[in-house]
Structure 1
């Protein structure tokens, strides 16, 4: 059967499956809980996200970051290939052809994709969050907007704004867990997603947050991230309740796994960045079994306290701010040579 970019659908699905199997063991495991059509479409969407990330960072399957080439041209390439995918034109890249296929099958829009691409553009510009709302904007672009696309893949109507809001909450929760876990890794790549305002509140000098004498303050900021994560996670459960059973089970499994990452970071305190925090395979299985019971009961409790950020507020901020400023040098590039 011919599909996007003139490629066979089965071939695109198989390539997407390889991508998720290699690129994200957690998402790959959770995706097995979907029914087959949803599972394949989730793979197709993931393949595009993974490929965009690799192009933007000059890496392969999330490997080492590369400083080769022009970050702005990389983003331009992503935009151009994405546009061709939505037009149904062959792109010469399986991951972008996969996007074209899943977009046509599920009704994904170019605006949804553009919102995700803007997250890659933020990183390409050496952007850093100054405020909590800046952090919210970043989390929306790199994960909340993906959650919205995933919800549509799972069959949520584009008119069902409430459920799409909850899907966005789940993506934001995932990203907050990632940021808390990856503070040291991001620092090595000359990136920092802790808002400048938070660093100032903790009396940490710019670029010095990974110094040993700041570990207690760093642990406090990680706990702050995870508290926000838990609020978005709780709201996401309300949206998951509206999904078909197998999609609900998959979403709740992923929520439990990523929630466990964030809570493990908090439990480790100042030692959280001595080694990368992971969730073991047996623990993932345990979370999937717990999610099965939760999905069967399907009676999530409303959170005691709602998140400080809502999708509507973030989108209003995004639309008002418009596209990010052109590329500027990172802090490392501005530093004088030794």
Structure 2
């Protein structure tokens, strides 16, 4: 059963996120197992809410209302923490990780709150509101992953959360058109109004090929917002074991490169899904190794920029 769970988690990441799969191979075996297990649960919850399979497809898996599917995820998460037998491979994997690494239940439920925000079709008025969503769907995943790597220092956990925020801001920029097609928009309404776009028209404007200049400006603004969070996250490398630092530095470089491509392609960024190729990943992973080694000899990390959004404690 244990190896079957690992096989399931490995397949889930290999199909669901090629960017993170490349980085995960760099962890030591125990950390890699736990990271894969945690990812499998996060991917499963996302798929259940979106009616997808490993991040693909839009047809609902069943006719159950999203609110009921969300309630079922919460109930299974609660049972996992209570040590009950888990029939679902994703929840069996999560149970193993959560109990072994003392992942606080509040963090798991904070992650589920991100899916709840999608179910409720929450609107985002200000950048802080968008960042709060980013925290729930990605920042708290950074916190849980950091615990898997042995991190307990709150200041280092802040850096892990910052990386999740940067990843999600990049994600939103890359997927602006795809999300609009699905009826979702995570951009601050303030930003939309500055582009003379009302919240009611956001989906149609973002999905309209003739509006790509506006979309490109909004994406560039998201990516600029992500940069100080990427910079903050880099300061956390020194607190991680070397192989973990290499893995996380690789994930940062590979994912940030997606944003670089979105920015560089401008209005053509949504002609196809942006990503990194095999040889490009290899170069970024090699560069990340240098960064991880350099972090062993760097001075004490500077204080975190107080202007950055602060996770809830």
TM-score range, shorter chain: over 0.9
**TM-score, normalised by the number of residues in structure 2:** 0.93
Matches within 5 A, 1:35-46: 35-46=28-39
Work out the CA distance in 2 between the residues paired with 1:229 and 1:169.
9
Contact 1:119 1:141 in 2 (8 A): yes
The residue matched to 2:235 in structure 1 has which SS?
helix
2:308 corresponds to:
309
Cα offsets for 1:240-293 (capped at 9, x unmatched): 221000000000000001110111111111111111111111111110000011
1:229 corresponds to:
226
Contact 2:43 2:54 in 1 (8 A): yes
How many residue pairs match? The answer is 305
Cα offsets for 1:40-85 (capped at 9, x unmatched): 0001101100110111112111112235430100100110111111
Q: Aligned pair in 2 of structure 1 residues 202, 115: CA closer, same or farther (>3 Å)? A: same
- Two-structure CA RMSD over aligned residues (Å): 1.9
Structure 1: 5+ residue stretches without partners: 1-7, 317-338
Work out the CA distance in 2 between the residues paired with 1:167 and 1:211.
36
2:191 corresponds to:
198
Note if 1:73 corresponds to 2:68: yes
2:111 corresponds to:
116
Structure 2: 5+ residue stretches without partners: none
Note if 1:272 corresponds to 2:269: yes
Work out the CA distance in 2 between the residues paired with 1:259 and 1:253.
10
Work out the CA distance in 2 between the residues paired with 1:181 and 1:52.
21
Quote the offset at 1:213 in angstroms. 4.0
1:91 corresponds to:
86
Work out the CA distance in 2 between the residues paired with 1:242 and 1:142.
24
2:175 corresponds to:
182
The residue matched to 1:209 in structure 2 has which SS?
helix
Q: Aligned pair in 2 of structure 1 residues 230, 301: CA closer, same or farther (>3 Å)? A: farther
Work out the CA distance in 1 between the residues paired with 2:177 and 2:36.
29
Matches within 5 A, 1:220-299: 220-298=217-295, 299=298
Contact 2:219 2:263 in 1 (8 A): yes
Cα offsets for 1:225-245 (capped at 9, x unmatched): 111111100000111221000
Work out the CA distance in 1 between the residues paired with 2:185 and 2:264.
22
**TM-score, normalised by the number of residues in structure 1:** 0.86
Q: Aligned pair in 2 of structure 1 residues 98, 305: CA closer, same or farther (>3 Å)? A: closer
Work out the CA distance in 1 between the residues paired with 2:299 and 2:178.
34
- From 133, 145, 154, the equivalent of 2:140 is 145
Work out the CA distance in 2 between the residues paired with 1:70 and 1:145.
26
- From 11, 15, 36, the equivalent of 2:8 is 15
Work out the CA distance in 1 between the residues paired with 2:230 and 2:177.
24
Work out the CA distance in 2 between the residues paired with 1:304 and 1:274.
40
Moved over 3 A (4+): 299-309
